[in-house]
Amino acid sequence: MDVLHSLLQGFATAITPMNLMWCLLGTTLGTAIGILPGIGPALTIALLLPITAKLDPTGAFIMFAGLYYGAMYGSSTTSILLNTPGESGSIITAVEGNVMAKKGRGAAALATAAIGSFVAGTLGTIAITFLAPLFVKLALLFGPAEYFALMVLAFTTVSALLGLSLSRGITSLMLGLAIGLVGTDVLTGQPRLTFGILSLLRGIDIVVVAVGLFAVGEALYMASRPDMRAGEVMPIRGSLFMTREEWRRSWKPWLRGTALGFPFGALPAGGTEIPTFLSYFLEKRLSKKPEEFGKGAIEGVAGPEAANNAAVAGVLVPLLTLGLPTSATAAILLAAFEQYNLKPGPLLFSSSSTLVWGLIASLYIGNVMLLILNLPLAGLWVRLLAIPQPLLYGGILLFSTLGVYSLNNSTFDLILLFLVGLLGFLMRRYDFPVAPCVIGLILGRLAEAQFRRALTISQGDASVFFTHPLSLALLVIAALVFFGPLVYRWRAARLQSAKASG
């Protein structure tokens, strides 16, 4: 009953005209950036940070959350009609959805994606409502050693699961950690990696890095690849009302997608891509007509779209209760909390309960808004895809430099932005995932602080990490994630060579 009471109070916060407006703004903006290829929720929230610094935090977070959800709704539209995913969580949707659009069933694909996102988003929000308080109780058991172990686990899963290979993930993570070192050490005041440059003493702002990697790096990459510029937008054909047959084939994948997406988002396993892939293969295996997959099976759109929205809901649980970001967007949201001097974690639920429950309540409202925005208005949104790419990227870079400059009114930040953009270009060109770098940047500082705090409490005895049962368990899981695939591959290789010689 306690939860319901808090939730009702949250609704009272969320339903004020001001907060409803923030929610509408966030969901609308989110849908737009989801549809536009090249801009994602992480970049947009990073750009909005300097602007929102003076806003009331509750309104700002309601907007950010609406934006994150909205991007997932919107990206399915791009996937289906343009065959380029608007966000990485919609890669799979492009496979079946675009084939459906080519066969003249684009409208049905859009409908099952939007309704599936609504179902998953709402169920995911219900799960947040009831799971978050439980997570808070768990989180209260955590000391510095446990937090450090948890972050180590997040580092390993993020670098192991995002991107093509473990070595690339680790490289990206380490680059992020190294960038995070730049500046003054919090505990001792020791400058690190500043090379005597005064402006670097403040450290490198996460906004600069995120915008550099996501916007400048991406723009440079797209400019260097003339072959990726063109794309053909399919017109929406068919009725937006799904037939009875299509409903029958969609509702189970929606539920299964939700069940896969939410836990994957909540675990420190890095965001929305993996559950969408899993959902696709699950639907393919369970389908009575697996031969339809690849030729426009509606299950292949319904399942993954539900999975990515549920994963977004899942991501919010560890972020709010533990302060642990599991995706690039969550890392930026964590930076937003820091901007307001709020510390996500168990204490947030008691110290800022209006904000937290207002945020959760606004997720319910936002989902309804998004369903309305995306289903009947899909035709309007598609016009966004008609923006010529030169103008789109011109605008992206204009707002990137504007946002970064307005952080501190410093041209030095623009130089940094340029350098990070070059780094982002190289990473993109050689297929290094960017998300571990952003997560490493923000989490690295926290991990180091917890590490040193734990050792200070234990008076330098490093065994604390292995004697606390929770901490030990987390570290063991981290080691398994890290070494498991290596051992597996090594054994597979040995088996093969044994077969070859025997």
Partner 1 sequence: MIGFGLVVLGLILFVDSLGMQVPPTYARVGPQAFPYFIAAALAAVGAYFVWNAWAPGAKREIVAEGFDTDWRALLIIGAGLLIHLNILKPLGFVISGIFLFLCVAFAFGSRNFLRDGIVAVILVLASYLGFTHGLGLQLPPGILAGVL
The footprint of partner 1 (CB under 8 A) covers 50-51, 54, 164-165, 167-168, 170-171, 174-175, 177-178, 181, 185, 187-188, 190, 192-193, 195, 216, 219-220, 222-227, 229, 388-391, 393-395, 397-399, 401-402, 405-406, 409, 411, 414-415, 417-418, 421-422, 425-426, 429-431, 444, 448, 451-452, 455-456, 460
CB-CB contact of 267 with 326 (8 Å): yes
Kindly state the smallest distance separating residue 386's Cβ from partner 1, in Å.
Answer: 13
CB of 26 to partner 1, least distance (A): 17
Closer CB to partner 1, residue 230 or residue 380? Answer: 230
Of 422, 443, 210, which Cα lies nearest the Cα of 329? 210
Q: Hey, what are 452's tokens?
A: 């040193």
The residue to which tokens 């939700």 are assigned: 258
Least distance from partner 1 to the Cβ atom of residue 16, Å: 21
For partner 1, give the closer residue by CB, 106 or 183: 183
Q: At what angle do helices 91-102 and 299-322 cross, to 10 degrees?
A: 150
Considering the complex, what minimum distance in angstroms separates the CB of residue 92 from partner 1?
23
In terms of CB distance, is 188 or 501 closer to partner 1?
188
Q: What is the nearest approach in angstroms of partner 1 to the Cβ of residue 277?
A: 21
Cβ proximity to partner 1: between 329 and 450 the closer is: 450
Between 130 and 488, name the residue whose CB sits nearer to partner 1.
488
Shortest distance, position 496 Cβ to partner 1, whole Å: 14
Determine the distance from the C-alpha atom of residue 147 to the mean position of all C-alpha atoms in its chain, rounded to a whole number.
21
What are residue 191's DSSP bridge partners?
184
> Looking at this protein, which amino acid is placed at residue 313?
A
CB contact set of 257 (below 8 Å; sequence gap of 6+)? 116, 120, 275, 276, 279, 302, 303, 304, 305, 306, 307, 310
Phi and psi at residue 55, in whole multiples of 5°? -75, 165
Smallest gap, in angstroms, from Cβ of residue 57 to partner 1?
16
- β-partners of residue 478 are none
Closer of 48 and 312 to partner 1 (Cβ):
48
Please, which residue, 349 or 432, has the CB nearer to partner 1?
Answer: 432
Find the DSSP H helices in 165-272. 166-181, 206-211, 217-224, 244-266
Q: Comparing C-alpha atoms, which of 323, 318, 260 is closest to residue 135?
A: 318
Q: Closest Cα partner for 399 from 29, 28, 8, 7? A: 29
Nearer to partner 1, 189 or 502 (CB): 189
Q: Which is nearer to partner 1, 212 or 238 (CB)?
A: 212
Which residue, among 326, 332, 214, has the nearest Cα to 271 in the 3D structure? 326
SS3 259: helix
What's the closest the beta carbon of residue 18 comes to partner 1, in angstroms? 16
Q: How far apart are the first and last CA of the chain?
A: 66
